[in-house]
Chain A
Amino acid sequence: MFKWLDPYAKPQVLFATLLWWQRWLMPLAIVVLLIGTIWGLGFTPADYQQGDSYRIIHVHVPSAIWSMGVYAWMAIAAFIALVWQVKTAQWAIGAMAPIGAVYTLIALFTGAAWGKPMWGTWWVWDARLTSELILLFLFLGVMALQNAFADRQTGDKAAAVLAVVGVVNLPIIHFSVEWWNTLHQGATITKFAKPSMDPSMLWPLLICILGFALLFGALTCLRLRTAILQHEAHRPWVRQYVEEQQHARV
């Protein structure tokens, strides 16, 4: 069923594919993010309760959704790395973890900056905020574990196990606002019901969410390519590629 995926396990093939994707995704991500943030921060109407403060949602929600999305993709890569022992999947974990950590940090920081004027506090130890903080620690833990062993393969395996195990946290983050009473409000768009947001505010938010996704894709392509070059530095095809690049520059 997944036989068509097999060639992409080969670093050289994957490298070329990632280059193609990156060339499309990076400019697209920048354009979409610019449209979404300018529309959202500058041209949407103010909220009836929160006034202009709610505009931070256009950064907060996309980064929070994709902090979980990045983790899910990283865990899938880790699962493939553990079961099928595909080394490119292994490198993908290391490529995605810092992106996820930064997204989580953005979500936590913008959340605090939003919480101070609206709730009256930067931080509260409710279930949603705490579980999102744990997500940050999971990302940092994966990054640290990968480099914690003298033997690179042991570190890779330990990081993959942690990445897979940490998936348990994702449903906890998502459902925390339903299972327990929290200061954080319930879901606005990630639910089966109609989004409880006026269309004039919803569209720029959806564009921002798409923009964060595209940026994640573009950065992953970039970082995974770097990882492939690092790990395969001694291979003839890498040497040839580097030489070609140098010729192109001269």
Chain B
Amino acid sequence: MNPRRKQRLIAVSSILVLLSGGVGAMLYALNENVDLFYTPSQLVDGLGEDKNKPVVGQRLRIGGMVVKGSVRRDEHSLKVSFDLVDTGPIVTVHYDGILPDLFREGQGIVAQGTLLNATTIEATEVLAKHDENYMPPEVAEAMKGIKHVPPKQTYSAETP
């Protein structure tokens, strides 16, 4: 390799290495801010090494699994409340609006709203998360024992 090419190779490579280092350091510093949502345990125990806890009244997103049997609907309006969990603590979410189709108990969701008190959130938007597993209904039933029931059918069964 001739000296000029070698020089350019070193220059381009060092730019790339320095820049990756810089971006890496930046992302590391911003780590907590890049997260889209708090998990219930982050909300209760605090975030990161400083144990930063969000203050009451703060707007935030919370993401977790909907606890089975925790969904309580108001009979005369769209008001609904449910509990979220990840590894331990439970956080309650109140919401007034239409839930996404994928919302069901045991499913991951992300809610945006205001913190009412340490473990309660008044949500303005509820989004459903889905996981990276894809399979036909028959396979899911055989593997996981999950009987797929589309949400609409569940409601029609309750209110004939």
Please list the residues of chain A having a beta carbon within 8 angstroms of any beta carbon in chain B.
Answer: 45-51, 54, 57, 79, 82-85, 117-121, 124-127, 161, 164-165, 167-168, 172, 179-183, 185-188, 196-198, 200-201
Q: State the CA gap A124–B19 with chains docked (Å).
A: 27
CB-based nearest A residue for B39: A181
> Do residues A180 and B126 form an inter-chain contact, with CB atoms below 8 A?
no
CB-CB under 8 A from A54, the residues of chain B are 134
B17 to chain A, nearest CB (A): 10
With known contacts A121-B125, A164-B16, A165-B16, A185–B136 Cβ distance under 8 A: no
> Do residues B129 and A48 form an inter-chain contact, with CB atoms below 8 A?
no
Interface string of B15-51 (1 = CB under 8 A from A): 1100110010001000100111101000000000000
Q: List 19 A-B contacts (CB under 8 A).
A: A48-B137, A48-B148, A49-B140, A49-B148, A50-B134, A79-B12, A118-B128, A120-B99, A164-B12, A164-B15, A172-B27, A180-B35, A181-B35, A183-B36, A187-B132, A188-B132, A196-B131, A198-B134, A198-B139
Pick the residue among B8, B132, B140 that contacts A185 (CB under 8 A): B132
* B72 at the binding interface (Cβ < 8 Å): no
* 18 additional A-B residue pairs with CB within 8 Å, beyond A54-B134, A119-B128, A183-B110: A48-B141, A50-B134, A82-B12, A83-B8, A118-B102, A124-B36, A127-B36, A172-B23, A180-B34, A181-B39, A185-B131, A185-B132, A188-B133, A196-B131, A197-B133, A198-B134, A200-B136, A201-B136
Pick the residue among A48, A83, A179, A181 that contacts B12 (CB under 8 A): A83
CB-based nearest B residue for A200: B136
CB-based nearest B residue for A120: B100
With known contacts A119-B100, A180-B36, A188–B134 Cβ distance under 8 A: yes
With known contacts A120-B128, A127-B34, A48–B146 Cβ distance under 8 A: yes
B86 to chain A, nearest CB (A): 10
> Do residues A165 and B19 form an inter-chain contact, with CB atoms below 8 A?
yes
Q: State the CA gap A179–B23 with chains docked (Å).
A: 14
In chain B, positions 119-153 with a C-beta closer than 8 Å to chain A are: 125-141, 146, 148, 150
Among A83, A179, A200, chain B packs the most CB atoms within 10 A around the CB of: A83
* B101 at the binding interface (Cβ < 8 Å): yes
Pick the residue among B23, B36, B126 that contacts A126 (CB under 8 A): B36
With known contacts A47-B134, A198-B139, A168–B19 Cβ distance under 8 A: yes
CB-based nearest B residue for A197: B134
Categorize the interface residue count of chain B. Answer: 35 or more
> Do residues B133 and A196 form an inter-chain contact, with CB atoms below 8 A?
yes
* B118 at the binding interface (Cβ < 8 Å): no
CB-based nearest B residue for A75: B16
> Do residues A121 and B8 form an inter-chain contact, with CB atoms below 8 A?
no
CB-CB under 8 A from B27, the residues of chain A are 172, 179
* B76 at the binding interface (Cβ < 8 Å): no
B157 to chain A, nearest CB (A): 18
With known contacts A79-B12, A121-B127, A45–B34 Cβ distance under 8 A: no
> Do residues B132 and A49 form an inter-chain contact, with CB atoms below 8 A?
no
Q: State the CA gap A47–B135 with chains docked (Å).
A: 5
> Do residues A117 and B101 form an inter-chain contact, with CB atoms below 8 A?
yes
CB-based nearest A residue for B42: A181
B144 to chain A, nearest CB (A): 9
